[in-house]
Amino acid sequence: MEAAGCFEAHEVDLHGHRAVYRVAGSGPTVVLIHGMVNSSRHWRVVAERLAGSYRVVAPDLIGHGDSATPRGDHSLGAHAASIRDLLTTIGVERATIVGHSLGGGVAMQFFYQFPQRTERLALVSSGGLGREVSPLLRGAALPGASPLLRLATRRRLVDALDAVAGRLSARGARQGAYFEAVARALRPLQDAGSRRAFLQTLRSVIDVHGQHVSATDRLYLLGDMATLIVWGERDRTIPIEHGRAAHAAIPRCRFESLPRAAHFPHLEDPGGLADVLADFLATTAPVHIHDSDWAAVIAQQAKNRLRAVA
């Protein structure tokens, strides 16, 4: 574990497995959920910016970062349930849930499974809002990708990618950010357990045709939820059009784009992302959903569909 500091790491036992999370600040709780090949560490700048007014909790998803890498269920629902169990363990009843990429899918699943625990929802370059995704991720989901991934994560190759990224960025070439992102993604996969967890997680949401898990049929459930969608304008991993379409479908939704960011706004423009999140938190009220409210929303949607068919 790290030494005490503004974004201190903690460890708990969840169902016999090590679960690591980082905490900063005090106040109402904001949960930051990372995406694939990221970890809680990557939220540091955003967390420190929000820590003046909020208690920020950033978990390492099971199979990622410093958490355990067991064989088992790495689906969105399993990750959402693990976050629920972590929050219960540390005494958090309700929180604003923020998710990036895969973490956006986990954040939506958390809301669908545990609406009573969700006060606001923020999705950052989120998965689960459309089929299209980068060819690199579709290729990694192929059945024979495991040995190729093992070769691609060799230290010498990753170091070479980092060097290329540095030279391109020094010349002001945009491709530098792309090579940097690839190297950053490959480096944590040098461990066999992390590679296995990555592939299990990836294949739970992506196949050769693209994203096969979609939340678009349930966006109506966000009708009363304060929702924010943020996207990097240079994103080539998941199209920004997914975010714009979801924004149009969600009644109480804000949409913000970040010109300096690609697919990783919390790393490419953490200050800009933190400012957008801080404004969203300061200008919206937390929502408290009860079981009766949830039942009424689902029942009304069923009636609307019957009317549409009739």
User: Domain count of the chain?
Assistant: 2
Q: CATH number of the domain that 264 lies in?
A: 3.40.50.1820
User: Does a structural domain hold residue 2?
Assistant: no
What range defines the domain where residue 190 resides?
Answer: 134-210
Residue 306: HSE in the Cβ half-sphere, 13 Å Cα cutoff:
6
Shared domain check, 93 and 178: no
Shared domain check, 96 and 233: yes
Count of beta carbons in the 10 Å neighbourhood of residue 134: 16
User: Does a structural domain hold residue 14?
Assistant: yes
Shared domain check, 244 and 124: yes
User: Does a structural domain hold residue 105?
Assistant: yes
The answer for 64, left when phi > 0, alpha when psi is -120 to 50, beta otherwise, is beta
In this predicted model, what pLDDT tens digit does every residue of 92-136 receive, in sequence order? 999 999 999 999 999 999 999 999 999 999 999 999 999 999 998
Q: Does 29 have pLDDT greater than 90?
A: yes
Say which of 235, 242, 247, 266 is annotated catalytic.
235
With both helix axes pointing from N to C terminus, report the angle between 145-152 and 192-203 in degrees, rounded to the nearest 10. 130
Shared domain check, 258 and 241: yes
Say which of 64, 247, 263, 266 is annotated catalytic.
263
Among residues 210, 244, 277, the one where a domain terminates is 210
Shared domain check, 166 and 280: no
Say which of 101, 126, 194, 257 is annotated catalytic.
101
Shared domain check, 99 and 153: no
User: Does a structural domain hold residue 201?
Assistant: yes
pTM of the model: 0.87
Among residues 157, 182, 210, the one where a domain terminates is 210
- Residue identified by tokens 């939340």 is 215
**What is the chain's mean pLDDT, rounded?**
87
Q: Identity (one letter) of the amino acid at 169?
A: S
Say if residue 65 is exposed, middle or buried (CB neighbours under 10 Å; 0-12, 13-18, 19+): buried
Q: Is 82 a catalytic residue?
A: no
Q: Does 2 have pLDDT greater than 50?
A: no
Shared domain check, 220 and 191: no
Q: Is 263 a catalytic residue?
A: yes
Rounded to 5°, angle at Cα 293 from 212 and 82:
45
Q: Does 17 have pLDDT greater than 90?
A: no
Confidence at residue 68, expressed as pLDDT on a 0 to 100 scale: 59
Shared domain check, 28 and 169: no
Shared domain check, 205 and 61: no
H-type helices in 21-69, by residue range? Answer: 44-50
Shared domain check, 206 and 66: no
Among residues 210, 244, 278, the one where a domain terminates is 210
